[in-house]
Amino acid sequence: MLDLIVTAVQREAPTILAFDLARADGGPLPGFSAGAHLEITLGDGLVRHYSLCTAPEPAPTRYRLAVLLVADSRGGSQAMHELEVGDRLQVSEPRNLFALVPTARRTQLLAGGIGITPILAMAEQLHQQGARFSLRYLVRDREHAAFIPWLKARPYADQVRVHFDQHDPALRPNFQHLLGPAAPDDHLYVCGPVGFMAAVVDAAQAQGWQPGQIHREYFAADPAAQGEQRPFEVELARSGRRVEVPAERSVVEVLADLGIVLPVSCGQGLCGTCLTPVLAGEPEHRDLFLSEAEHAANDRFTPCCSRAKGERLVLDL
């Protein structure tokens, strides 16, 4: 873990703050690539992921991230918005689960709202590499749009289009028309609210984009997609021990009661930190981390949120 200090706080929009983090001595930090995020420990075991939003560097002297204050925050965004210059944070080294494909012929970047943060770093990296790309940024209105002046000043500003939709789907661009058909080496990166990303992915698939060409990063799970909560049994293969998982609790929570502490970060099935091998039984996948093919394999699941379709799962624990 890195012990970093908040060196700057800047308001980018009414509910969005940008933070600069650096070492106390101003020394170099571990490098990162576009799409990388930091895991920040905010006290009482609260860990949150925030995307880095500046040009990638091999040895930067600061990290910059931006955080949206969420009305129904589970504590993370509220804690971040209470930070002041000089506050110290425990921060992981950058980790990237949303990396650019270096062999792409053409890259399309689509951001919705605060989903602009990793997309900014991607635009910077692609520009540095002289790659072909376009960036579409959808946001409610100009007042709530972060980084607009900065984007307008970038040398690739003519490759950026901003759309204001007033939260009215009728004002959104036609995603199928915007994306067009994909060539074999084209790649699409989308980040933003769940509904926005679903609309973009549906449009891309309708235009023939293949799963391996579509890359997405989620900031929050969709509560409507969680399904019915039913109890089930978990068997720990290494000891043969069996334990009931009640409807209102997760596998992670139940195992913690037994002294089996699984590594957990987001707690929503977004990051893959808690991935656990499944030896028997069929998981009910509720994560947004594994691909469709990985879900179909049913050999791993995320015990922080996923459950069992049947009465029992046997885990390699």
Is residue 181 within 8 A of residue 208, CB to CB? The reply is: yes
The conformational region for residue 194 under phi > 0 = left, psi -120 to 50 = alpha, else beta, is alpha
Note the pLDDT tens digit of each residue in 257-289: 999 999 887 788 888 889 999 999 999 999 988
∠ Cα 263 267 272 (to 5°): 60
CATH of the domain at 113: 3.40.50.80
What's the mean pLDDT in 134-143?
A: 93
pLDDT at 167: 75
* Number of domains forming the structure of the chain: 3
pLDDT at 222: 61
* 144 and 188 part of one domain: yes
Q: Flag whether 101 is in a domain.
A: no
What's the mean pLDDT in 51-70?
A: 95
CATH of the domain at 76: 2.40.30.10
Which pTM value belongs to this model?
Answer: 0.83
Helix (H, G, I), strand (E, B) or coil at 302: coil
Q: Given pLDDT bands bounded at 50, 70 and 90, which one contains residue 221?
A: low
Note the pLDDT tens digit of each residue in 62-88: 999 999 998 876 678 999 999 999 999
